[in-house]
Chains A and B, each alone.
Chain A
Amino acid sequence: MNRSHDHEMAVTLTQGDRSRRAFVATLRSHVLQRMAGELRQHFEGTVGPEHAKSGAPLETPEAIHEAMKVEFPFKAYSSVRTAAQEMVFDVVSDAVDRELEMLNEKAAQPAKTGTLRLDPSLQLPKSVTGIDVHLSPGSYHVEHAEADVSAGAVYDNSIDVFAFGQFGKQHNDIGSTLSNYLRLKFPDFTPASILDCGCTIGHNTLPWAETYPDAEITAIDVAAPVLRYAHARAESMGVAAHFKQMDATSMAFGDEQFDVVFSSMFMHELPLKHLHQYLKEAFRVLKPGGILWQMELPPMNAMPNYENFCMNWDTYYNNEPYYGTFRRQDYQQLLIDAGFSADQFVEATMPRYTFIGEEAFGEAIEDGNTFDTLTGRMDPKGTRWYGFGAWKR
Chain B
Amino acid sequence: MKAGRPAFFSDPEIDRLLAIIVRLMTEHSVLNERVKTLEALLIDSGAITRETLEAFEPSEEQDAEWGQERFQLIKDVLESGANITKQ
> Which residue numbers of A lie inside 8 Å of B, CB to CB?
1-2, 14-15, 18, 22-23, 26-27, 29-30, 34-35, 38-39, 42, 46, 71-73, 75-77, 79-80
Please indicate the chain B residues that have their CB under 8 angstroms from the CB of A46 in the complex. 87
Residues 10-66 of B contacting A (Cβ, < 8 Å): 13, 17, 53-57, 66
Q: Which of the residues B70, B74, B75, B85 comes within 8 Å of A73, measured between beta carbons?
A: B85
What residues of chain B lie closer than 8 Å to A29, measured between beta carbons?
71
Query: Which residues from A are CB-within-8-Å of B66?
Result: 22
Q: Bound state CA distance, A39 and B57, in angstroms?
A: 35
Contacts A71-B87, A73-B84, A76-B84 given; 18 further ones with Cβ under 8 A?
A2-B57, A14-B54, A15-B53, A18-B57, A22-B67, A22-B70, A26-B67, A26-B70, A30-B78, A35-B78, A35-B85, A38-B85, A38-B86, A46-B87, A72-B13, A72-B87, A73-B85, A73-B87
Interchain CA distance A76-B13 in the complex, whole Å = 9
Interface centre among B55, B70, B71, B87 (most CB of A within 10 A): B70
Least CB distance from B50 to A in Å reads 10
CA–CA, A42 to B86, complex, Å? Answer: 8
- Compute how far the CA of A15 lies from the CA of B53 in the bound complex, rounded to whole angstroms: 7
Task: Assess whether B75 is in contact with A75, with CB atoms less than 8 Å apart.
Answer: no
B residues within 8 A CB of A72? 13, 87
Q: Flag if A30 contacts B87 (CB, 8 Å).
A: no
Contact flag A30-B85 (CB < 8 Å), given A15-B56, A22-B66: no
Chain A binding surface, main DSSP class: helix
B interface residues (Cβ-Cβ under 8 A, vs A)? 13, 17, 53-57, 66-67, 70-71, 74-75, 78, 84-87
Q: Inside 8 A of B84's CB, which chain A residues have their CB?
A: 73, 76, 80
A42, B87: Cα distance in complex, Å: 9
Decide if B57 touches A80 in the complex (CB within 8 Å).
no
Least CB distance from A210 to B in Å reads 26
Least distance between B61 CB and chain A CB atoms (Å): 15
A72–B14 alpha-carbon span in the complex (Å): 11
Q: List, sorted by A's number, 9 A–B pairs whose CB atoms are closer than 8 Å.
A: A1-B54, A1-B55, A26-B71, A27-B74, A30-B71, A38-B85, A72-B13, A73-B85, A80-B84
Distance, CA A75 to CA B84, complexed state (A): 9
B82 CB to closest chain A CB (Å) equals 10
Q: Is the CB of B70 within 8 A of A23?
A: yes
Complex-state Cα separation, A271 to B78, whole angstroms: 37
Q: Specify the chain B residue showing the minimal Cβ separation from A71.
A: B87
Report whether B67 and A73 are in contact in the complex, using a CB–CB cutoff of 8 Å: no
From residue B85, how far is it (CB to closest CB) to chain A in Å?
A: 4
Do A77 and B85 touch (CB < 8 A)?
yes
A30 touches B75 (CB 8 A): yes
Give A39 to B87 CA distance when docked, in angstroms: 10
Contact A15 B13 (CB under 8 A): no
Q: Which are the 8 A-B pairs with shortest beta-carbon distances?
A: A26-B70, A38-B85, A76-B84, A30-B74, A14-B54, A15-B54, A2-B57, A72-B87
Give chain A residues whose Cβ lies under 8 Å from the Cβ of B67. Answer: 22, 26
Task: Provide the bound-state CA to CA distance between A27 and B55, in Å.
Answer: 24
Query: What's the least CB distance linking A178 to chain B, in Å?
Result: 30
By a CB distance below 8 angstroms, the chain A residues around B85 are 34-35, 38-39, 73, 76-77
List of A residues within 8 angstroms of B86 by Cβ: 38, 73
